[in-house]
Structure formats: C-alpha cells, structure tokens
A and B are shown apart, each in its own frame.
Chain A
C-alpha cells in the first residue's frame, strides 16, 4: 500500500526484553490472582483435596484398600477399640465402632468433591445455557425460561433436595441431581443478566452482519464474555454444595454406609460429643477448610475480574 501508515501498525507491541507480548488473558488473570495470598492458599488446599480424592478412588476401586492399609488403616473396618482418643496409631482417634477417623476423613473427601463438582458443573452447563438463550433472545423465550427459573427459585433449596432424593432414592447420583436442580436458577439468572448487556455490544452486531448462525453467536461470541461472573458463582456454590452434601448426609439422605462422608461422620459423633468430641470434630474441620478454600478462591477470581478492586497502588 502506498500511503505511509505502517510505522504505527507494523510494530507489534514489545515488552521490555523486545519479544512480542502474547500474553493470553488467562496468564494475565493468573498474575493478578497470585497477589491474593489467601486465595492461593485456598487453591493449594483444593488441589490437595483433589490429590487425596484421586488416590483414595484408585485405592478403593483398583487396589482394594491396599494403599491405605499400608499407610494407615482400612477406613471401613474396625481397627481399634471404640472411641479411642487421638494417638500416634490413630491421629484423629476412632469412632463409635473403632474405625480410624483420619482414614475415613480422607476417604470422605472424594464424596464431597464428587457431589460438589457434579452438581455445580451440571448446574453451570444447564443454567448458563438457559440464561444465555433467555437473555439473548428476549421476548417470549425469555419469559418462558425465566418464569420456570423463578418457579425453581421459589422452593427452599434443602427441602427441594430432600424431596428429590427421597423420591429418586438414596444414592450419590441422586444427591448430585438434587443439588444441580437447586443451583441451576442461580446460573441462569447470572448468565441472563450478562447476556443482556453483552448483546448490546457492537461485536454482536458485527457477528449478525457477517451472517453467523445463532449457535455461533450464542456460544462463541456471547458465552465467553459471560464466563467471569459464572466462574465466581461456580466457586462460591462449590462451597455451598459441600455444606449441602454434608447436611443431606447428616440427615442420612446422602451416601449410604459404610462409605464415609463428612456429614454422616458428624452425625455419628453427636451422641458422644461430651466424651469423644473428636468423632465429629475432625470431619467438621475438614468441611470448614474445604468451604473456606472455595470461598477464598471465589473471592480471588472475583477480584481478578473486578476492575474496581483496590490492588491499585498508592503513594
């Protein structure tokens, strides 16, 4: 081209070392996330939970508890006398029938994570799709979807979950389904409000002018721009889901014995709170840290996306 406008444009931006910057938004986000020490601590704890979960699942299904027996004790068998207080052999003591609480707490991690992940992921998928379709389409479609969502919101969450589990049976899968139903409206509402603001952006008009399909516009143009608030909500709901699973298990509506779960373990300990508090205490502590971690990570993610954070330096 003849006119000289290249000097502006022919130079890609370079950083101090002179290499072209190709930082993706993910790495940029990570850099900002790293500044929140508590959120990073939460992330470390969550990663630890994942590692423990994976190991216990492998141990249970492939190795027949060989690994845990080598290191500690079989979580489902009485290995000591009932209600032993914490000691070197049983770091968290034993429960009312002599099972090792440390081993059981570790094995219960995967139940909590499974329920929380399963419920939140399916709720995110279903809810976001509903919300984005509703927000982008508007009109009758929006009314239909959102009134349905309002209806779901009308039920008290835990009561709805108890009802679903009671109807479908006391199985882990049904707990996941129940919680997914409870959480779907939250994602639908958030996705809808994001979609409504995103659809006014000029790049959506540009996509329409280029004749892109509705599918492309919804999932390639609108959805990626609604992800941040959904991500924050997902991590906060993970925390709530862990509590909800514990509550259902506490009521005996969760996984069935002898599979350990934190809620069930707490329930067992309630009778002996006075003379053997450790039975309920340690699973309680596990719940506390799991919930705290997800909340901290959620806050960290929100700060990364929120331009109004106070990470701005001052003199």
Chain B
C-alpha cells in the first residue's frame, strides 16, 4: 500500500434551507491511500454523497464546510481558494456521478467531452489529445472507440455512458477516484462489468477508490475497507472482512440482517427510518431504532473510538460496543414454506405479444422502411396459479413490466390472449376486472396523486367498488391499519410521508377492492434497504392472510428468492426459464439465469468468491433481436445452432421449463418416455 493520499478529518458540512441551517454531515473522518478501495455505505439521507461533494467542495451556493479538514498529501483542501481547488478537481481527485443519463451534456459528442477534459488539464497537441481520448475509451473496454468517439450521449446505452464517464474521470490520471453510486442506475450484469472495470483500473493505475453505494453487496465484492454512515455520522469503519462478519455497531448489524440474500435465510426488517436532518435525536442518532439503546445513549453523541480488529484500523461510534460487540450478521433460516398446493392457473397469458411502433406520422407510414417496431414482449406463455407468488425477473428492457401491464390490461396487446379463471380478459367487464386484479406500482412518488390526501386516494377506490355497508372512513381506517399505518395518515398528502409509508398506501389502495390477484411491479426498488425488508414482510403477510395470488416483478434476484414460489426469467421479450424458486437458485439451467445469479454482489465477504460469470456486451436492441436464440450474442455456451434456430420453452421435468438448445435433448427424452412433467 502506498503513502496515504487523502485524509478526511472531522468534516462537518451544513446547508442553509428555508427551515434554517441543516448539518448534513458531522465529524466524518476516514482516510484512503493509493491502491486502496474504500466503500462508503449508508441509506439515503445518511450523508454519503454530501461527504463526497464536501471533499471537492462541490456544495452549491447554500452549502458550506463548517469545520474539519480534507488533506490531500498533507495539504488542507478546505483552506484552498476556489481556483486552487479547480486544479485539484479532475486532476488529482476525480469523480464519477450516479446518473450516467444526465452527467453527460446531450448536445456535445462524447469525443468532444473527453477531449475538453484532457485539454483543460494537460497541454497536448490536438492529434495527441484525440489519440489519448481513444486510448481512454479502449481502457474502459468500449468495444469500438472510434464510433463511440463521434457519437452523441443519447446514442449510447447506460453502461456505455458510465464507461465514458469513467474514461473522463481517469483521463488526467487522478490519485483518487470518487465514484458516487456508479452502478445504481445499471442492470446487474452491467453492474458486474463496471465493478470489474473499476477494480482493474485501481490496480493498474494505483489509484485510491472511494466507492459510495447503498448496496452492501457491492462493497463486499469490491472494497477492502468500509465506512458505514448513518444520519450524517460515521458509525463504524474498518476492513470489510471485520465489519461485515463481526460488526460492532448495532446499525451495521441491523443493515446486514435486513438485506435479502440468495441463501435460504429470512431477513429481519430493521424498524424505523433515518431521521430527518432537522429532527435528529439527542445523543446517538441511531438510539431510537436501536435494540441495545440505554438512557446513556440518548445523552451525548458517541465519538468514533478504535476497537480491536485484525488490521487495527477499525473504529466504532457506540458507547456500548464493548458490551454488545461483536454483533451477529446471521439471518434466521427461512421458515420452511408450505409448498403451495399445485392448483389451476388463475391467470394465463397465451402467446402474448406487444410491439411498440415508434412513430406514426403520415410520412413514416407512406415511406417504406422506417424503424421496425420494438418487440417488448415477443410471444410469451405464462401462468399464475392460485395462491402462489410467481416471480418475473429480468434486466431493464427485458419486457417484464410490459408483460405485467398486458396481463392486467393496462397496455393493449398486439397479439395473444389473457384469461382470468378460464374467462377471456376481453369478455370480463372492466369493473369486474379491476376488482379482481390490482397493480402495485414501482415508484411510490409517482403512483399517488400529489393533490389528494391519503384518505381521498383510498376513499375513491372504496366508493368505486365498495359493497360494504360500513362507512368509507371506517374502511379507510381499516385498510391503513392493515398496512401498519396510523389511521391519522389519512389527512396527510403524499409528500408528507416517507417512501416506505407511501408504498404502504400504494399497497392499501390495491387491496381496497379486495382483489384475487396482485401484480407488483418492482414495489421495493425505489426504497432503502431497511424499508425494503419492511415492505416485503408486509406483502408476504398480506398474501398469506388474504390468500392472494401475486405476480412479483423485479430485477433483484435476492428479493425474488425471498418472496416467490416460482420464478420466470425474462430476456429480451421472452421467457427463458421457469422453475420453482429453490431449484432455480440451486441449479439454474439456462446460461442467462446462471450468469444473473452469479452477478449478484454477495454481502458476505467470506463467501467463496468463485468463478463469477461476467457477461460480455449488453442486451441487444429489441427492434432488431438477433437471429436464432435471443441470448446468442452474449451466451458463454453458445453453439452453432443457437444462431440458426430459436429454442422453444420446453419442460425439463420437476415443473421446470427452459428455452435453450442445451436442454432440448432432455426435453425430448421426457416426451418420448411419454411422461410429461406433472404440471406443465
């Protein structure tokens, strides 16, 4: 390990708001050396992004550093003038931001933007600058640097844009690279590629990496050391191996226990939520949510004290840590779920197709050619059985959300048939349909009308479908109680609630009509880790109590593992594999499923970091899917015939089906032995 490069000491940053001054981060201290990979984890509102921005003083006009120091090789950056800092930014400390969609200027070509950065810090001839830019694109493993160089940002995929941003960040060979949630907006297979790239760059360039993320798995996979933040303070720091296996702070332990994992364990929801910065409690900020809290904890802010560890770097801000530590990270084993009785399908989709036509102007229709339709869902058969939770998993662009919307009739089908309990969807009256099938939306900020109170939102639904004699107000209160909300919430507007509370209202609204089927489209992807566990537990309880059949759409396999009985994996508009959850996770059949499973970052650092399958390339353009199998462009096991023939979804026994030529012989054997799989 090289000399220490960056040291942050008791950094305290405050912002002026209408409600007065807010201390966003307080007494944050850590250090990172060249060649070291440091993770900063925390839920939203913990101050991790503010910490990153404070280092480079990118705080906007209403933020300032109140005290503390940021030392780069001993020089205190907080005392530097704005001009002196400009020389440091990008040159010695570079930053990669979260959203690759908005971090590049849409009106300039990618090449121009890279060249500008190089020109700002280095004095090279035009020719050399361009060569350097192309080299950089190659360094970040962009397949065809020349064409990307002359592309506009909107012509690139999210993963490619993030690579370009990393290229810009490393263009001046910084000593420290700060990456703020660099993979949050990306799919899991692309995330694996980007993390792999960062890993390699740090090693080759001997940079220090500060990786900010909410995802404990990403930290465990990538970093050596970790800083855990909560409500503006560092609560624990140390090596990943120490912190993730024997945390000293109850928050770290609670967080580790609350995340869904691939293993067959049940996460324990961490109660409560991060306090609003204006309403931080006296004493330890975590005390209100802490099971170990005593009166003493509520008296003063605990300071970060060193604790015994393997490398002597660990520290924790908990006055009781010597009594309670090390804490457990173990999750209780999953209660053996009674296998759902195999019943008839309650909701079936046969040969479903949805094509989106991009333009329909007169000229486009008259002229031949034009852009081909986007095949969002391309011939899917799916069956949701009564009382089960069927997981629908896939990356963005796989068509899973569209499929969910087709099933409930929110989107018109191009072809195919949906039947509900044996009746065709078209023949059902819309009132019946909406009473029996409901949808839980992804983004609780957008799914509740901001101009209605919670009471109105639920009241409209109850009045529309109510068959009950009881008053609407009574039923609203009951629904709120059922989703664990205070009945007084009915007077609030959505913006007054937290994300988790809003999603509870979303669930309550779906339940207001007493549906048989719930289609949940990524209901937890917009929420924090600890809140996600709460919502998942709620959904599980409701499903059991009300006997719902649930279609659970998610990109997150660990969440799917937790809530689903069966899983259908989608890729580019097709279902490639269907299997009972346990079988799928133990022995995936389709190469894509296998790659997806291996790409999930595992928060357990002791887990065998075995052969991670990192898929090459990206999901193809759904306008022009490849000939033959849709996965053939990325499949590690690709064979000659994959380019020629499209594999069909065939049963392979044990209630599983897979669409892959590798398994066709098995499927045929099954057929010739005339013992068709029991339930497919």
Interface residues of A (CB under 8 A from B): 1-13, 20-25, 201-203, 205-206, 208-212, 216, 220-221, 224-225, 227, 311-315
Q: Are A8 and B271 in contact (CB under 8 A)?
A: yes
- Within the complex, the shortest CB–CB distance from A197 to chain B, in Å, comes to 11
Q: Are A312 and B447 in contact (CB under 8 A)?
A: no
Q: Are A20 and B289 in contact (CB under 8 A)?
A: no
A206 / chain B contacts, CB cutoff of 8 Å: 439, 441, 447-448, 506, 509
How long is the Cα–Cα vector from A224 to B493 in the complex, in angstroms? 13
Any A CB within 8 A of the CB of B222: no
A203 / chain B contacts, CB cutoff of 8 Å: 446-449
Any A CB within 8 A of the CB of B486: yes
Q: Are A205 and B441 in contact (CB under 8 A)?
A: yes
Max chain B Cβ within 10 angstroms of own Cβ: one of A2, A202, A209, A212: A209
Max chain B Cβ within 10 angstroms of own Cβ: one of A24, A211, A224: A211
Binds A, one of B182-190, B426-434, B624-632: B426-434
**How many A-B contacts if CB must be within 8 Å?**
135
Q: Are A315 and B501 in contact (CB under 8 A)?
A: no
How long is the Cα–Cα vector from A208 to B411 in the complex, in angstroms? 10
Binds A, one of B100-108, B470-478, B531-539: B531-539
Max chain B Cβ within 10 angstroms of own Cβ: one of A8, A10, A211, A225: A8
CB-contact partner of B449 in A11, A209, A211, A225, under 8 A: A225
A-B contact pairs, 21 of them (CB 8 A): A3-B269, A4-B271, A7-B271, A8-B272, A9-B504, A10-B485, A10-B486, A12-B488, A21-B492, A203-B448, A205-B447, A210-B460, A210-B461, A210-B464, A210-B509, A211-B430, A212-B464, A220-B452, A313-B16, A314-B16, A314-B62
Given contacts A5-B484, A22-B491, A202-B443, contact A211 B18 (CB under 8 A): no
Q: Are A12 and B447 in contact (CB under 8 A)?
A: no
How long is the Cα–Cα vector from A43 to B437 in the complex, in angstroms? 50
CB-contact partner of A25 in B435, B485, B493, B509, under 8 A: B493
Q: Are A209 and B408 in contact (CB under 8 A)?
A: yes
- Within the complex, the shortest CB–CB distance from A221 to chain B, in Å, comes to 6
How long is the Cα–Cα vector from A13 to B492 in the complex, in angstroms? 9
Q: Are B485 and A9 in contact (CB under 8 A)?
A: yes
Map CB proximity to A onto B526-546 as digits: 1 under 8 Å, 0 otherwise: 000001001001100100000
How long is the Cα–Cα vector from A133 to B154 in the complex, in angstroms? 32
Q: Are B447 and A202 in contact (CB under 8 A)?
A: yes
Map CB proximity to A onto B298-324 as digits: 1 under 8 Å, 0 otherwise: 000000000000000000000000000
How long is the Cα–Cα vector from A298 to B246 in the complex, in angstroms? 60
CB-contact partner of A5 in B61, B271, B438, under 8 A: B271
Q: Are A205 and B504 in contact (CB under 8 A)?
A: no
Q: Are B509 and A211 in contact (CB under 8 A)?
A: no
Interface residues of B (CB under 8 A from A): 16-18, 61-64, 269, 271-273, 289, 405, 408, 410, 430-431, 433-435, 437-439, 441-443, 446-452, 460-461, 464-465, 482-486, 488-489, 491-493, 496-498, 500-501, 504, 506, 509, 513, 531, 534, 537-538, 541
B438 / chain A contacts, CB cutoff of 8 Å: 209-210
Q: Are B451 and A315 in contact (CB under 8 A)?
A: no
Q: Are A312 and B62 in contact (CB under 8 A)?
A: yes
Q: Are A315 and B16 in contact (CB under 8 A)?
A: yes
Q: Are A211 and B431 in contact (CB under 8 A)?
A: yes
B461 / chain A contacts, CB cutoff of 8 Å: 210
B16 / chain A contacts, CB cutoff of 8 Å: 312-315
Q: Are A9 and B537 in contact (CB under 8 A)?
A: no
Max chain A Cβ within 10 angstroms of own Cβ: one of B431, B446, B538: B446
CB-contact partner of B541 in A2, A216, A221, A313, under 8 A: A2
- Within the complex, the shortest CB–CB distance from B462 to chain A, in Å, comes to 10
Q: Are B289 and A7 in contact (CB under 8 A)?
A: yes
How long is the Cα–Cα vector from A209 to B498 in the complex, in angstroms? 24
A10 / chain B contacts, CB cutoff of 8 Å: 484-486
Q: A10-B486, A205-B439, A210-B509 are in contact. List 18 more A-B contacts (CB 8 A).
A: A3-B269, A6-B271, A10-B484, A10-B485, A11-B486, A12-B488, A12-B489, A21-B496, A25-B451, A205-B441, A209-B437, A209-B438, A211-B430, A211-B433, A211-B435, A312-B61, A313-B17, A315-B16
B17 / chain A contacts, CB cutoff of 8 Å: 312-313
Closest to A314 in B: B61
Q: Are B442 and A225 in contact (CB under 8 A)?
A: no
CB-contact partner of B492 in A6, A22, A311, under 8 A: A22
Closest to B438 in A: A209
- Within the complex, the shortest CB–CB distance from B360 to chain A, in Å, comes to 10
Max chain A Cβ within 10 angstroms of own Cβ: one of B64, B273, B430, B496: B496
A202 / chain B contacts, CB cutoff of 8 Å: 441-443, 446-447
Q: Are A9 and B501 in contact (CB under 8 A)?
A: yes
A2 / chain B contacts, CB cutoff of 8 Å: 541
A13 / chain B contacts, CB cutoff of 8 Å: 492, 496-497
Q: Are A8 and B541 in contact (CB under 8 A)?
A: no
How long is the Cα–Cα vector from A184 to B658 in the complex, in angstroms? 59
Return the 4 tightest CB-CB contacts between A and B, nearest first. Answer: A211-B434, A224-B451, A313-B16, A202-B447
Q: Are B434 and A210 in contact (CB under 8 A)?
A: yes
A212 / chain B contacts, CB cutoff of 8 Å: 460, 464
Given contacts A13-B496, A205-B441, A312-B17, contact A1 B482 (CB under 8 A): yes
- Within the complex, the shortest CB–CB distance from B519 to chain A, in Å, comes to 9
How long is the Cα–Cα vector from A210 to B452 in the complex, in angstroms? 16
Q: Are A210 and B486 in contact (CB under 8 A)?
A: no
How long is the Cα–Cα vector from A7 to B273 in the complex, in angstroms? 9
- Within the complex, the shortest CB–CB distance from A223 to chain B, in Å, comes to 9
Closest to A206 in B: B447
B271 / chain A contacts, CB cutoff of 8 Å: 4-8
A211 / chain B contacts, CB cutoff of 8 Å: 430-431, 433-435, 464-465
A8 / chain B contacts, CB cutoff of 8 Å: 271-273, 498, 500-501, 531, 534
A22 / chain B contacts, CB cutoff of 8 Å: 491-492
Q: Are B541 and A3 in contact (CB under 8 A)?
A: yes
CB-contact partner of B486 in A3, A12, A201, A221, under 8 A: A12
Closest to A198 in B: B449
How long is the Cα–Cα vector from A25 to B496 in the complex, in angstroms? 10
Closest to A312 in B: B62
- Within the complex, the shortest CB–CB distance from A310 to chain B, in Å, comes to 9
Closest to B513 in A: A210
How long is the Cα–Cα vector from A7 to B465 in the complex, in angstroms? 31
How long is the Cα–Cα vector from A2 to B335 in the complex, in angstroms? 15
Max chain A Cβ within 10 angstroms of own Cβ: one of B449, B482, B537: B449
B497 / chain A contacts, CB cutoff of 8 Å: 13
B433 / chain A contacts, CB cutoff of 8 Å: 211
B61 / chain A contacts, CB cutoff of 8 Å: 312, 314-315
Closest to A35 in B: B18
A216 / chain B contacts, CB cutoff of 8 Å: 460
How long is the Cα–Cα vector from A314 to B464 in the complex, in angstroms? 49
A225 / chain B contacts, CB cutoff of 8 Å: 449-451
- Within the complex, the shortest CB–CB distance from B476 to chain A, in Å, comes to 15
A1 / chain B contacts, CB cutoff of 8 Å: 482, 484, 538, 541
Given contacts A7-B271, A8-B273, A22-B492, contact A224 B62 (CB under 8 A): no
- Within the complex, the shortest CB–CB distance from A76 to chain B, in Å, comes to 47
- Within the complex, the shortest CB–CB distance from A214 to chain B, in Å, comes to 11
Q: Are B538 and A3 in contact (CB under 8 A)?
A: yes
How long is the Cα–Cα vector from A313 to B22 in the complex, in angstroms? 12
Closest to A313 in B: B16
A220 / chain B contacts, CB cutoff of 8 Å: 452, 460
Closest to A25 in B: B493
How long is the Cα–Cα vector from A220 to B17 in the complex, in angstroms? 33
How long is the Cα–Cα vector from A24 to B455 in the complex, in angstroms? 13
- Within the complex, the shortest CB–CB distance from A19 to chain B, in Å, comes to 11
How long is the Cα–Cα vector from A312 to B21 in the complex, in angstroms? 11
Q: Are B18 and A311 in contact (CB under 8 A)?
A: yes
How long is the Cα–Cα vector from A8 to B506 in the complex, in angstroms? 16
- Within the complex, the shortest CB–CB distance from A143 to chain B, in Å, comes to 12
Q: Are A5 and B538 in contact (CB under 8 A)?
A: yes
CB-contact partner of A201 in B405, B446, B484, B531, under 8 A: B446
B513 / chain A contacts, CB cutoff of 8 Å: 210
CB-contact partner of A205 in B410, B452, B460, B465, under 8 A: B410
